[in-house]
Amino acid sequence: MIKSKLAGAILRSGVAIIAFGQIAIAQDYVAPRTSFGAPDLQGVYSIATVTMLERGEQFNGKLTITEEEAARIGQTGDSYLEDLTTAPSDGQPDVGGYNTFWMDPGERMATINGEIRTSILVEPENGRLPWAEGALRAIFGARASGPGEFAGPEARPLGERCLVGFGSSGGPPMLPVLYNNHSQIVQTEDYVMIMAEMNHDARIIRMRGDEHSDIPKWLGDSIGYYEGDTLVVETTNYHPQQSFRGALRHYFFLSPEAKVTERFTRVAGETLLYQFTVEDPKVYATAWKGELPMNAVEDKIYEYACHEGNYALPGILAGARLEEKEEREAK
């Protein structure tokens, strides 16, 4: 089920950009504990924000900006949605996809410790993905020479096939997408479960594991441990079909051997600080790091009804077979 807020809430403007999930890390804050002594991180959280993964040129390389600068050049939820619906230069509207009523990408820029962030990326310092030399050409060249856009269901995107959510909402790393940006954390002594609202992707983190599985998995193979008030999660062995990821307007790639280290820290009664590091030498020249606030919400996570029974996918494939038939008959 695609969940959205009222259009009026989505299209707020003005001072709404100033703060989303402000994290003011109090030095004397003491995180609550579970019955087994671990920091209690449980709850339902939202990572929705219009702060992008990579830093836009309008920020001149700066990671943080003032409220005045945000008001002048920052991006709010309404301006983001307006950009999505802007007609192309030929004046013809895009008939694909769905309208912005169903979109809920967030309304404000992310704020951490009182600082308005211009990108989720904090390293490299320029806020851009550090692609290794030749990686983009090799990755997208191989993708272009694949089985073909309509060759069969296996060639269609994973989200379209209802296998995992689109983008990287289930992680790791967990990044905001157009809607369904809630996730729920449940802890036991032996496991931590993080369920993303998008497609109900549930990541099971073993808290007493010391070796990663050799079997590639959707969402990777995750092992966790606690460092004081922080849950640390190390994930590798990603399914090769889940290599292409997205976060609003930016795309990235993780090889099956990539390693993502996440840190979840409760810094206030209603807020977690989410930090991650991506290491993938086959794809990136250096590791890259990001930070996001995870804000507790009272909303429930409702059923995510993917379109297993939707006629679109068989229609796409049937149309491709018809085109192939017509091409053969024309020869």
- Is the previous residue joined to 173 through a cis bond, with omega within 30 degrees of 0? yes
- Cα dihedral angle (106, 108, 110, 115), rounded to 10 degrees? -170
Element (H, E) at 265: strand 259-268
**CA-closest candidate to residue 276, choices 301, 249, 254:** 254
CB 177 within 8 A of CB 249: no
User: Does a structural domain hold residue 31?
Assistant: no
pLDDT given for residue 204 in this prediction: 95
User: Does a structural domain hold residue 34?
Assistant: no
User: Does a structural domain hold residue 1?
Assistant: no
Q: Which domain holds residue 292?
A: 7-26+41-85+97-330
User: Does a structural domain hold residue 172?
Assistant: yes
pLDDT given for residue 16 in this prediction: 33
The whole-angstrom separation of Cα 12 and Cα 5 is 12
pLDDT given for residue 273 in this prediction: 97
What would you measure as the largest C-alpha separation in the chain, in angstroms?
77
Beta bridge partners of 115: 112
User: Does a structural domain hold residue 2?
Assistant: no
User: Does a structural domain hold residue 312?
Assistant: yes
> What does each of the 331 residues of the chain score in pLDDT, given as a tens digit?
444 333 333 333 333 333 344 455 556 788 899 999 999 999 999 999 989 999 988 888 999 998 888 877 666 656 665 665 555 555 555 555 566 667 777 778 899 998 999 999 999 999 999 999 888 777 776 555 555 666 777 777 788 788 888 889 888 999 998 888 999 999 999 999 999 998 888 999 999 877 888 888 999 999 999 999 999 999 999 998 888 888 877 889 999 889 999 999 999 989 999 999 999 998 999 999 999 999 999 888 888 877 666 677 788 888 888 988 998 999 8
User: Does a structural domain hold residue 33?
Assistant: no
How many independent structural domains does the chain possess? 1
Give the 3-state secondary structure of 53-116: CCCCHHHCCCCEECHHHHHHHCCCHHHHHHHHHCCCCCCCCCCCCCCHHHCCCCCCCEEECCEE
User: Does a structural domain hold residue 16?
Assistant: yes
